[in-house]
Structure 1
Amino acid sequence: MNFDLPLADISTDIWDTKYRYRDGDVIRDASLEDTWQRVARALAAVEAGQEGVWAARFHEVLANFRFLPGGRIQAGAGTRHRTTLFNCFVMGTIEDSLDGIFSALKEGALTMQAGGGVGYDFSTLRPRGARADASDTIASGPVSFMHIWDSMCATLISTGARRGAMMATLRCDHPDILEFVEAKRDPAVLRHFNLSVLVSDAFMVALDQDADWPLSFPPGRTVGNVRARALWERIMRANYDSAEPGVIFIDRVNRLNNLGYEETISATNPCGEIPLPPYGACDLGSINLTRFVRAPFTPDATLDLDGIAATASVAVRMLDNVYELAHFPVPRQREVARRSRRLGLGITGLGDALAMLGLRYGSDASLDAACAAMAAICHAAYRASAELARERGPFPAYRAESYLAGEFVRGLPEDIRTAIAAHGIRNSHLTAIAPAGTISLLANNISSGLEPIYAYRYQRNVRRPDGGLTEYAVEDYAWRLYRSLHGDAPLPPGFVSATEIPPDQHLQMQAALQAHVDNSISKTINVPADMAFSGFETIYRNAYALGLKGCTTYRPGAGRGQVMTADQQPPAKPCCELPGAD
């Protein structure tokens, strides 16, 4: 059987407009094969004396979309463009002064101009109405300054820069938390931001006890109180009505941080899968699970776990090499990023792969298969990084006793811990699951990240370099493959779309994979439009109970426009979509 399909029109367009190398008016990549060769050669250039050997191995995993490096790598590696090869940044701590605020704004602008998505914690800014002692003026609060960032991002987009994406976080005990929670009820404002509340373990205890919750600024200096349940309901109501803000369980993020012995995290990249310290950065890559399904749509369908692990080992070396090639828009980013050498290796195409295996997304068997794939990636990645440390040395912030005592590292297989103890490890973190939206479109429209199939056929809006939109009729990869093999035969039970899956099964999938993810996971919990608020609120409590690091939901009609419209639904007016980590 032939399991290859012609490249879809939308995939060709994505390659041509986003990843094809153009040097001025000269086209350098004549084909997709040229792009793979360019990226492979660029990442192998740091392999002194073995460039050809590693270029061939890198090309092998890139070919046929087996491994999909982050979009910035595919677009920038081996070119003369002055862009970053990193998708994910968290900017420096915002100093609570006008000079500090606008210095942070400038650094964010430089980073987004170079192609990076950024995260900011606005909790360091004094609340609205507080007096600034030095200037004897009244503070306007963090939300007011977020509007300046949003305008900056819009201005960069208007100049032709890659569409910017930002994450804004605020502590749940900040006095302006209610203003932050309500900030995106008007869908016309803060369009370039995702918002997330930093929810602490102490707050969840207060919520369970129906206790008062102190609001403080600076931290530890109480300036007011609110009922914990009242604040929680405001967060949930805003999310239910307008899909913002999400929730990050920040104490869990820090407790499970492999570098918790030397850094504190309070922000993430725009889609939430990479928690980072101030000035931190991480490069991403996703293994395409659809390329590792043997005998799809048959009783003998299996997942090639050995092939997945082998690809993960090569991918780690590729992503580590990015650090030697990358341009960092702000000098401090280079210092912090190289101190940890974080990687975010994950999966994409999970929904399609499960359909090809005949497993319904959310079933116990699907959870087992997904968990096995992510475990193979995680363990292969840690083994490869330990081997790289033997060859090249560990990351500079490595401290053997503290690192091996970390909660996540303690759960790794004993042979990995032994190798780390012997040689150290090259990268502090190795796994994450990104949305992988654009690169999944590139790879013949496979389902993105760990998400289920969105729909079998739908309309998709793609933004042009000039800011306009082109609408494509798009077909899911697994659906196309099944139709090419079996014509109009009824779809097997493994086919299920996102809206057919109960929210608790979305959560169970995220929880199953989190056990093998040392960074975090970008996941959208699809919620029916008519779901009662009480059930919706329970999703977030269950997310905390399941040990997740964060939670994001989407309820149709909850304030966000759509860039994808299933054929059976009327088209929706497109809006400015926050891009995924592509």
Structure 2
Amino acid sequence: DGIFDALKNTAIIHKSGGGTGFSFSRIRPKNDIVKSTMGVASGPVSFMKIFDAATEQIKQGGRRRGANMGILRVDHPDIEEFITCKADMKTLQNFNISVGATEEFMKALKNDTTYKLINPRNGQVTSEVSAKKIFQEICQQAWTTGDPGMVFLDRINQYNPTPQLGEIESTNPCGEQPLLPYESCNLGSINLGHFVKGYPQSPKIDWEGLAETVKLATRFLDDVIDANAFPLKEIERITKANRKTGLGVMGWADMLIMLGIPYDSEEGLNVASQVAEFINYHSKLESIELAKERGSFPAFKGSIYDSEQPTLPFSGRVFGKNVDLNRPPLDWQSVKEGIRKYGLRNADTITIAPTGTISMIAGASSGIEPLFAVAYVKKVSVGEFPEVNPLFQEVAKRLDFYSDDLMMKVSRAGKLEGINEVPDEVKRLFKTALEIDVHYHVAMQAAWQAFVDNAVSKTINMRNSATVDEVAKAYLEAYELGCKGITIYRDGSRSVQVLYTGSTAEQKNEQKKEVTKEAGGILPEARPSVLSGMTIKMKTDSGNLYVTINEKDGRMFEVFTTLGKSGAAIAAFTEAIGRLISLSLRIGADPNAIIKELVGIRGGEPVWQEGEKILSVPDAIGKALSKYMELKSGKVESQKPLVSLSLEKSQEGHEGLEDDSWGYGNPTCPECGSPLIVSEGCMTCPVCGWSKCERGRTDLGAAFLN
């Protein structure tokens, strides 16, 4: 009953515009005996699919589907099934998933020993497994698809402000807000770019203005708790008991640029420590003032604050090389004395939450993320126009290297690397996410986490060429540096993987040489009068597409492509693709090379077919050819085809789109068709602001299932 009550509550929360987080760790493992029926349990992953299907049917707030976080403890017997539950990139598309790592697991991993898997029904040990083996599976799957992330459960509970109310088992959908069962938190963000004065001549942080804004925002978020209409009584009860608020930031990259400090520097890490500590300090002072006026949060008694020397819910570790920012002194002892005397209005006050859409509205960089692109090309009905970071434009004009041609060049590349017209010191300052070393991504998250009560929403962005070992290194470094969780995304890893026959690089190079002989060197093979084949029907935004593939001597020989009801222009374009594919096949081109060129091309409105996203007519043709190759290989539908483990950039016709450019190989925005990026743990469009999982400023309903 508990599971389906949770399902009903999820529907209510999503309908009201909230997101949900779940711990599935209390569900008995697969094949466990159910005494009441003498049957066997289906396990947590099967129930996740039920929640996913329900989410698919419920539009969040009447606009779009809600978002979910699914967490399973690493010592659950079904942990390996959970790790790979999104491997096909079709299942559980409405879930982010994370493995709940324990201290026992991390110690076993460090010592290369086994750890125990425990049946949550009775607490009995079912088996022991190598920690290294499980960790390698986590890293391999994260490298392939971006899931699962990791959350460090014991560390989260080390800083749980109200342990007397229970253990924290889950988070909200993007992972930045660890929450008790049914607890919610309302979130808000300060634009740090507005608190640099004297730019560009003598930039300094406006500490006085920042302190006043922090106090005002803390008071505002406390008001929201009382003004809010909660969808469930259980949510209202626990939320008002703890009164957690989550004040965060955006415009962090903008602030660093204006201060002239590179994101990937020891100085940058130190500025993060100083700013994060300052914000938390003044939020706590204001929460004490609110406690004087309105009383402490009801669950204060028994909390970490309820002592002669109150404990604060963060580590306070300072990162990086010290930078003199003329920051006013902070007296944390006076904060503790204020809490002891007056109490505290809010159990937590600081969270670094996603700001995808609101940061675009504010014209600010996203959260604590670096820039994802210095510029991009915006396509509208009347042409293409460069959208350039305003700070970069200002610097280019001030240093006298600005030109319209340069702005378009930068827009097409998205980054400054390799653009000779831009001075090196400017390139250093405007490094983009995929140019920044993974260490600095993780260290920046850790620097903020050290002074954040809750957690930090940040994506550790990796180039497409990153290795599984680099993923493992990032996960271990996040743990060592004090993060509460980590999410990585290897650029392009969620794009469709094309069929791959396993031919060696040398064979591919030889084939390439053959098909690139000078014109006139190769004539297409003559077509027999009779050929047999098959026709595959595909959905596209331009109508149904019929791809007919004919064979000769057991190999793909020619392709005919026809759209159903469509205009003359798109029909001609589609026919032309088929003719060119046929010509390529008849001069000996590898079908897999053709598929690789077509799959992933974007255009128009994406549509879904049998759980697979179709991005455009060319993409549909490529996927039809891939389906043909799978059928011909004799594999049944449920089996995965052999896939390549890397995406190679096209050799021609894709200037500026390389495997380390932003958005390479990524899915496209359903609103505007631009490449999506993964920012703050969520698929986001940097052009129009669409976000797969960003909610309103209130996150509702982290829950566990019994």
Scaled by the length of structure 1, the TM-score of the pair is 0.77
Map of 2:156 onto structure 1: 253
Q: Is the 8 A contact 1:340 1:395 kept in 2?
A: yes
What corresponds to 1:172 in structure 2?
74
Q: What residue is the counterpart of 1:53 in the other structure?
A: none
- Structure 1 letter corresponding to 2:136: E
Relative distance call for 1:192 and 1:383 in structure 2 (3 A) is: same
Q: Could you tell me which of 77, 101, 113 is aligned with 2:15? A: 113
CA distance in 2, matches of 1:334, 1:568: 51
Distance 1:269 1:472, change over 3 A: farther
Q: Is the aligned partner of 1:236 residue 2:107?
A: no
Which residue of 526, 531, 549 maps to 2:466?
531
Residue 548 of structure 1 is matched in structure 2 by 483
Note if 1:408 corresponds to 2:496.
no
3-state SS of 1:127 partner: coil
Give distance in 2, aligned partners of 1:109 and 1:381. 34
- Report the Cα distance in structure 1 between the residues aligned to 2:88 and 2:211, rounded to whole angstroms: 46
Identify if the C-alpha distance between structure 1 residues 461 and 188 changes in structure 2 by more than 3 Å, giving closer, same or farther.
farther
Deviations 1:342-393 (A, max 9, x none): 0011111111211121110021221222222211110010000000000000
CA deviations 1:102-126 (Å, max 9, x no partner) are: 1101101110110111100011111
Q: 1:239 to 1:461 in 2, by over 3 A?
A: farther
Inter-partner Cα distance in structure 1 for 2:146 and 2:303 = 42
Residues 477 and 101 of structure 1: CA distance in aligned 2, closer, same or farther (over 3 Å):
farther
Pair 1:254–1:474, CA change in 2 (3 A): farther
For residue 408 of structure 1, give the secondary structure of its aligned residue in structure 2.
Answer: coil
| Paired amino acid for 1:422 | K
Q: Identity percentage over the alignment?
A: 37
The 3-state SS of whatever aligns with 2:447 is: helix
2:67 and 2:262 map into 1 onto residues whose CA distance is 33
Shift of 1:487: 6.2
CA distance in 1, matches of 2:274, 2:495: 34
Query: What's the Cα RMSD here?
Result: 2.7
- Equivalent position SS for 1:198: strand
Deviation sequence 1:298-352 (CA, Å, 0-9, x none)? 4x11111221111000000100000111111111000000000000111111112
1:441-456 equivalences under 5 Å are 441-444=360-363, 446-456=364-374
Deviation at 1:263, TM superposition (A): 2.3
Aligned to 1:465: none
Determine whether 1:507 maps to 2:436: no
Equivalent in the alignment of 1:457:
375
* Shift in Å, 1:162: 3.5
Q: Larger radius of gyration, structure 1 or 2?
A: 2
Conserved? CA contact 2:215–2:283, under 8 Å: yes
State the alpha-carbon separation in 2 of the partners of residues 474 and 571 from structure 1: 21
Give how far 1:237 is off.
Answer: 0.8
Instruction: Summarize the Cα distance change of 1:396–1:459 in structure 2 as closer, same or farther, 3 Å threshold.
Output: farther
Structure 2 gaps, min length 5:
317-330, 403-421, 497-599, 604-653, 658-663, 671-682, 684-691, 697-706
Q: Per-residue deviation at 1:426?
A: 0.2
Q: Is the 8 A contact 1:214 1:224 kept in 2?
A: yes
Residue 255 (structure 2) pairs with residue 367 (structure 1): no
8 Å Cα contact 2:491-2:665 kept in structure 1 = no
Q: Is the 8 A contact 1:358 1:495 kept in 2?
A: no
Aligned to 2:418: none
Task: Give the 3 Å change call, closer, same or farther, for CA 171–347 of structure 1 in structure 2.
Answer: same
What is the deviation of 1:414? 0.5
| 8 Å contact from structure 1 (residues 461, 574) kept in 2 | no
Task: Write out aligned runs for 1:268-347 (5 A).
Answer: 268-298=171-201, 300-347=202-249
Q: How many residues align?
A: 474
In the alignment, the residues of structure 2 paired with residue 324 and residue 487 of structure 1 have an alpha-carbon distance, to the nearest angstrom, of: 53
- Write the distance in 2 (CA, Å) between the matches of 1:250 and 1:530: 31
Contact 1:121–1:267 (Cα < 8 Å) also in 2: yes
**One-letter identity of the residue aligned with 1:366:** G
Distance, in Å, in 2 between the alignment partners of 1:472 and 1:347 is 30
1:484 Cα offset (Å) = 6.5
Cα distance, 1:183–1:256 mapped onto 2, change above 3 Å = same
Cα pair 1:457 1:475 within 8 Å, conserved: yes
Label 1:144 to 1:423 Cα distance change in 2 as closer, same or farther (>3 A).
Answer: same
Output the CA distance in 2 between the equivalents of 1:378 and 1:461: 41
Match of 1:518 in 2: 453
- Residues 60 and 66 in structure 2, CA contact (< 8 A), matched pair in contact too: no
Distance 1:243 1:409 in 2: 28
SS in 1 for 2:139: helix
Inter-partner Cα distance in structure 2 for 1:571 and 1:459: 17
Structure 2 residue 55 is the aligned partner of structure 1 residue 153 = yes
1:16-55 map, 5 Å: none
TM-score by length of 2: 0.64
Letter of the 2:234 partner, please give it.
R
| Distance verdict in 2 for CA 1:199–1:393, change over 3 Å | same
**Aligned pair in 2 of structure 1 residues 398, 459: CA closer, same or farther (>3 Å)?**
farther
For residue 564 of structure 1, report the CA deviation from its aligned partner.
12
C-alpha deviation, 1:500, in angstroms: 1.1
- The separation in 1 between residues aligned to 2:187 and 2:135, in whole angstroms, is 33
> C-alpha distance in 2, partners of 1:159/1:322?
19
For 2:656, the equivalent position in structure 1 comes to: 568
